[in-house]
Chains A and B, each alone.
Chain A
Amino acid sequence: MRRLTIISRRLAIAIVVATGASVGVGYAASLGLGSNQLHAWSQNLTKGTCNQTSATADDTYVQQALPNSTAGGAATALTISPLAGAQNYAFIRFDLSGCSLPTTAGADSATLTVFVTTNGNDTVSLFPVYSNWSSSTLTWNGVSGLTIGSTATTSFSAASNGSATVTVTADVDSAIKAGTLWGWELRATSGTAIVGIGASENASSMKRPSMTLSYEK
């Protein structure tokens, strides 16, 4: 009788183990099939253009020799000077609010065109600006309060009068995502001449800054 009891116990254990193993296999199968499940969706993009003219431009230049003076609003040309102690930097930006672009949009391409009105042997580089400024208030001393990229986006030669067009796609793309385009600081990174580019107040519309913009949203 005692042996019968032992056999019965072993039988019960065997059934429990076998059942447990079967359940284990069942869970493994569950995980395996679950791993193949998929969630998929798509997103269509709308393409468009929103070219900018002097109507949405704001520009100025700041003068080391007149560190508290503003030059925006009336100047018909923006002067850029590399001269030690008398440096001038120009600033240009565009108000993109009329494009009604959400921060999830982006620039497919963007080019900035300026017109060199006074040429010289300078290379003018564009540094992206990441903080708010206005032509009516910006001064040389105020520039230190701005956040400006340390690496130039692009540059152009001011060796001859006429249009100079540079690609600024990445900067504008980032600005759209940030919500506002604060534009660029234009600074002579080589050369010795004082050069000028047309301001948005220039009498000739072809000499004013402009920007082409193709976007997606």
Chain B
Amino acid sequence: MKRLTRILGIALTAALLSVGVASAASLGLTTGKLGAGSVAVNGCTSSSLTATRNVDTNGNVTQVNVLSVPQACAGQTLAITLENSSHTSLGAASALVGTCTGGCTATVTGFGTVSAANVTAYALSLTQ
């Protein structure tokens, strides 16, 4: 009986080691599939969404609105940088994309005092 127990113990150890190796392989393969996760994120904004901005009386940017944001992007962080003609940042801000029905307009505020006349480009990103 002791011998049988010892054999079973060895078998158990071997089995667990095998599972461990298999798990490592699983992790490796799963890690390799993480690119598919990236595709899923891109899928919410496969096209470059259009941004507009509002100004105050002095012509400074008060907010940037990104139009037609798919619902799938809800919960992601929308970051926007206002750039001049040299693509130097004039101001940056971000906000979480909220939930809504259909295409949403995501609004980002808090760029500081940036004259709209000096803004020649927007750099935008969505992160999960």
Q: What is A's interface to B at a CB cutoff of 8 Å?
A: 3-4, 7-8, 11, 14-15, 18-19, 22-23, 25-27, 29-31, 33-45, 47, 104-109, 153-154, 167, 169-170, 173-174, 177, 214, 216
Count of inter-chain pairs, beta carbons less than 8 A: 146
Which of B19, B51, B67: most chain A CB closer than 10 A?
A: B19
A contact residues around B93 at 8 Å (CB)? none
B46 to chain A, nearest CB (A): 8
Q: How many angstroms between the C-alpha atoms of A154 and B58 in the bound complex?
A: 11
**Chain A contacts for B125, CB-based, 8 A:** 38-41
9 A-B interface contacts by CB (under 8 A) = A15-B16, A22-B22, A30-B31, A30-B33, A34-B37, A38-B41, A43-B51, A109-B116, A167-B59
Q: Residues of B at under 8 Å CB distance from A?
A: 1, 4-5, 8, 11-12, 15-16, 19-20, 22-23, 26-27, 30-31, 33-34, 37-38, 40-42, 44-45, 48-59, 67, 115-117, 119-128
- Main DSSP-derived SS at the B contact region: mixed
Q: Do A154 and B117 contact each other (CB < 8 Å), given the known contacts A14-B16, A37-B42, A40-B125?
A: no
* Contact of A30 with B59 at beta-carbon distance under 8 Å, contacts A22-B26, A39-B42, A40-B123 already known: no
